[in-house]
A and B are shown apart, each in its own frame.
Chain A
């Protein structure tokens, strides 16, 4: 039995973006222009009606601006009574004359205010909400909610139980997509709901003490493959986003249903549970049309999307819940250590590519089956990095959670001669020939054995000049260990006498963007049975190998992370490789020689350094 939960969220936004468009067309900005207010309200009403026509309940997230509008307030109250919609609050849509007068700011992103302003705004938004409705909301949200902000909210308003807290993989790619004008720099979080850590909103909490006190949901349910290498606002459960990405033909969008169905299929990786959220702001359904689509098409796409959810509900294949209802359900069956897993497949480009996404309180990572199961993204959640954002902090707009590996921002499997890219993979060697599994496309299947999640890849063929062999990769993650076990097994060979090297490695760095960061201070260490080697990173191309390796380790103070590899055998060698300024990477690895068939088993571990 599987449960697929959907939350549909609407917000009456009184001054959507197109007021700015009119200003560009020669009109001065006027936050109280009646025609704009009326159009926004009409869109909000239309969205609500489409949901209700399909027998779906919604969460109405009241913007600050809408708390001054009688019509918006009465619609919310009426729909709460009649349809069981939840009345929540959002920090989107702050801007209105009252806000300007009170806070003297044109800032629109709650996470980018100074901490002082965040507190003042939270207090005012909730005060006004309480004044209007006579109670405090239990759900809130924005595009991003930093841990410091949520900690404050929980301290003052403990009834808050759920928040829209990130947009999945909206970082440098979203910024680029918006002609470098959209400051949602927030890569690195989970793609599905989670209970965040008090230290950093991106990290799932590791236990009750670390629990921030809310359930976080991401803004939209996104295509995990397309959005890793493309704009977040093209590929997700937001029909007008899909129009923006132009994934349609003749006004038909099967892609929307394909995303929903793939999210439904996540039940098989997550103990029968799956989730979807839709959250379209009124600015996306402007009467003027948008993204090359006229108003009729904008509306049609929304109707079609909602009709599909409605049909699933009617067929008992979906459960529509409000945000707060969802939070209660989620908490009923969610041990802190339970990971979120997804073997995502391409539903857009016509390839058979699969990527496996994994998140737990220790790490988030992605494996690419197109690259023999190589790890192409790795975020050290165990470090629980405290990284406040907003005015007055060190990072200001950069709210992303740092990576150690992000293959697209750091080249990944490398194709030119000068250096290396970030990736975790394995090389198979024979007499001077060496093949990286990154060049071996394959597919995977998922299984579970007790507390262990297992990704089993179909064997790939390695052709050396004199003979061929078959290698299989198996990745196992046992819940609560903070380790990834990686098995590379030669399952067949044409030459049972050949000495084959299996070389498991990770080439990594750290960062949040496409640009390099200074690795000075990173420490590379090899601990063997007999001796140890250690260096402080200084771009000097140093290398070392230690036989009978116990542990190969990179200590990255910039990300407060200890990244290590170990194996279960005595006769393997460990090595590290320092980079240079044109190739700012470090590599640690473990290698072993087998005759004919055999395997190498290593464990990758992520720990907080201090």
Chain B
């Protein structure tokens, strides 16, 4: 097995992100998956994007323009 590499766009681990830890993942070309050195997450790009979308849900006002203060 060859060494892991930084993947495109430097994906952070989505599970570590959920606890607000920025942990860059490594990419395994043969398995076509990302993996985290800290929390044991593994997943392909789709899985990362799915979890990232979930992470954003906590920001209920992320698309709301607020002008009254």
B-contacting 9-mer, from A154-162, A344-352, A511-519, A552-560: A344-352
Option from A25, A230, A249, A292 in Cβ contact (under 8 Å) with B20 = A230
* A291 lies within 8 A of chain B by Cβ: yes
Option from B6, B8, B20 in Cβ contact (under 8 Å) with A176 = B20
A499 to B64, CA, bound (A): 47
* A32 lies within 8 A of chain B by Cβ: no
Option from A173, A231, A293, A350 in Cβ contact (under 8 Å) with B60 = A350
CB-CB under 8 A from B46, the residues of chain A are none
Name the residue in A176, A257, A262, A292 with the highest tally of chain B Cβ atoms < 10 Å from its Cβ. Answer: A292
**Given that A246-B56, A293-B9 are contacting pairs, would A348 and B22 also be in contact in the complex, using a CB cutoff of 8 Å?**
no
* A207 lies within 8 A of chain B by Cβ: no
Contact-size category for B: 20 to 34
Tell me the nearest residue of chain A to B64, going by C-beta.
A254
Say yes or no: A244 contacts B22, CB within 8 Å.
Answer: yes
Task: Tell me, rounded to whole Å, the shortest Cβ–Cβ distance linking B15 to chain A.
Answer: 13
* B40 lies within 8 A of chain A by Cβ: no
CB-CB under 8 A from A349, the residues of chain B are 58-61
* A132 lies within 8 A of chain B by Cβ: no
Option from A178, A231, A247, A291 in Cβ contact (under 8 Å) with B10 = A291
CB-CB under 8 A from B8, the residues of chain A are 289
* A433 lies within 8 A of chain B by Cβ: no
Say yes or no: A177 contacts B21, CB within 8 Å.
Answer: yes
Main secondary structure of the interface of B (DSSP, over half): loop
Task: Tell me, rounded to whole Å, the shortest Cβ–Cβ distance linking B2 to chain A.
Answer: 12
A60 to B12, CA, bound (A): 32
Tell me the nearest residue of chain B to A181, going by C-beta.
B22
Say yes or no: B69 contacts A179, CB within 8 Å.
Answer: no
**Given that A246-B52, A292-B12 are contacting pairs, would A231 and B64 also be in contact in the complex, using a CB cutoff of 8 Å?**
no
**Given that A176-B20, A292-B10, A292-B11 are contacting pairs, would A345 and B56 also be in contact in the complex, using a CB cutoff of 8 Å?**
no
Task: Tell me, rounded to whole Å, the shortest Cβ–Cβ distance linking B43 to chain A.
Answer: 14
Say yes or no: B20 contacts A177, CB within 8 Å.
Answer: yes
Say yes or no: B20 contacts A291, CB within 8 Å.
Answer: no
A290 to B9, CA, bound (A): 6
* A255 lies within 8 A of chain B by Cβ: yes
Name the residue in A231, A244, A350 with the highest tally of chain B Cβ atoms < 10 Å from its Cβ. Answer: A350
Contact-size category for A: 35 or more
A249 to B21, CA, bound (A): 21
A139 to B20, CA, bound (A): 34
Chain A 264-288 interface 0/1 with B at a Cβ cutoff of 8 Å (1 = within): 1100000000000000000000001
CB-CB under 8 A from B67, the residues of chain A are 261
A156 to B6, CA, bound (A): 46
Say yes or no: B63 contacts A254, CB within 8 Å.
Answer: yes
CB-CB under 8 A from A290, the residues of chain B are 9-10
* B66 lies within 8 A of chain A by Cβ: yes
Tell me the nearest residue of chain B to A249, going by C-beta.
B63
CB-CB under 8 A from B61, the residues of chain A are 255, 258, 346-350
Option from B16, B23, B38, B62 in Cβ contact (under 8 Å) with A247 = B62
Say yes or no: B23 contacts A25, CB within 8 Å.
Answer: no
Say yes or no: B63 contacts A261, CB within 8 Å.
Answer: no
Say yes or no: B62 contacts A255, CB within 8 Å.
Answer: yes
A247 to B8, CA, bound (A): 21
Say yes or no: A247 contacts B59, CB within 8 Å.
Answer: yes
CB-CB under 8 A from B21, the residues of chain A are 176-177, 179
- Residues of B12-43 at the interface with A, using a CB-CB cut-off of 8 Å, are 12, 16-17, 20-23, 38
Tell me the nearest residue of chain B to A295, going by C-beta.
B9
* A248 lies within 8 A of chain B by Cβ: yes
Say yes or no: B66 contacts A261, CB within 8 Å.
Answer: yes
CB-CB under 8 A from B17, the residues of chain A are 246
A265 to B59, CA, bound (A): 22
* A570 lies within 8 A of chain B by Cβ: no
Say yes or no: A348 contacts B20, CB within 8 Å.
Answer: no
**Given that A179-B21, A345-B69 are contacting pairs, would A21 and B6 also be in contact in the complex, using a CB cutoff of 8 Å?**
yes
* A252 lies within 8 A of chain B by Cβ: yes
Tell me the nearest residue of chain A to B67, going by C-beta.
A261
Option from B9, B12, B52 in Cβ contact (under 8 Å) with A289 = B9
CB-CB under 8 A from B56, the residues of chain A are 246-249
CB-CB under 8 A from B10, the residues of chain A are 21, 288-292
Known: A249-B63, A252-B63. 8 other contacts (CB 8 A): A24-B6, A179-B23, A234-B20, A254-B64, A261-B66, A288-B10, A292-B9, A348-B60
Q: Would you mind naming 24 contact pairs between A and B with Cβ atoms under 8 Å apart?
A: A176-B20, A177-B21, A177-B22, A179-B21, A231-B20, A234-B20, A246-B52, A246-B55, A247-B59, A248-B62, A249-B56, A249-B62, A254-B64, A254-B66, A255-B61, A255-B62, A258-B66, A261-B69, A289-B8, A292-B10, A348-B59, A349-B59, A350-B59, A350-B61
CB-based closest 10 A-B pairs: A350-B60, A265-B69, A254-B65, A258-B66, A289-B9, A350-B61, A246-B56, A247-B62, A249-B63, A247-B59
Chain B residues with CB under 8 Å of chain A are: 5-6, 8-12, 16-17, 20-23, 38, 52, 55-56, 58-67, 69
